[in-house]
Amino acid sequence: MVQFLPAFLRRLITLLLRVYYNMSNCIFCKIVNNEANATIVYRDEQVTAFRDIHPAAPTHILIVPNKHIESVNSLEVEDEALAGHLFSVASQLAAQEEIAEGGYRLIVNTGPNAGQMIFHLHLHLLGGGYMRHPMG
Ligand code: 5GP
Ligand code: ZN
């Protein structure tokens, strides 16, 4: 839906969402801190993974850093190990969900043109069926 809006409207909506999330109202922070419900499938001291509320594939898991990082644009050099860990956990969960062999897709939407809606960095793990290709 978002992709059909004019570019300036997408940017405005993104700006408003970012302001909203900066006001410590972040739903993913709440899920990480057990202040909001989600089906958690993995948790450690660095990351939390839970099922997407509107799955776009038979397996649709979101893997998020436990600390609030807005997007890939906000990653610092000190976050490199954390960013790598998101991928390790994705690989582990793909095996656990039995989609590793069949194949899966990892997506990190960043900013208005990519339709980022939640301004807490997250890796989408999608699989369990054939996905349209090419993307974009
Ligand atoms: P984005 O477009 O920002 O990359 O994707 C955000 C994702 O978060 C969407 O797929 C959306 O369905 C999911 N989502 C939004 N709010 C919630 C929530 O409260 N709980 C869960 N589990 N997923 C959510
Ligand atoms: Zn957050």
In angstroms, what is the span from residue 106 Cα to ligand 2's centroid? 20
Q: Quote the CA–CA distance of 85 and 103 in Å, as a whole number.
A: 20
pLDDT per position in the chain (136 positions), as tens? 666 788 888 888 888 877 776 657 899 999 999 999 999 999 999 999 999 999 999 999 999 999 999 999 999 999 999 999 999 999 999 999 999 999 999 999 999 999 999 999 999 999 999 999 888 8
The pTM assigned to this predicted structure is 0.90
Burial classification of residue 133, based on how many CB atoms lie within 10 Å of its CB (0-12 exposed, 13-18 middle, 19 or more buried): exposed
Closest CA to 124 of 106, 103, 136, 101: 106
CATH of domain 2-127: 3.30.428.10
Question: What's the CA gap between 115 and 109, in Å, rounded?
Answer: 6
> Which residues have C-beta under 5 Å from ligand 2, the single-atom ion?
26, 28-29, 68, 120
Compute the distance between CA of residue 32 and CA of residue 119 in angstroms, rounded to an integer: 14
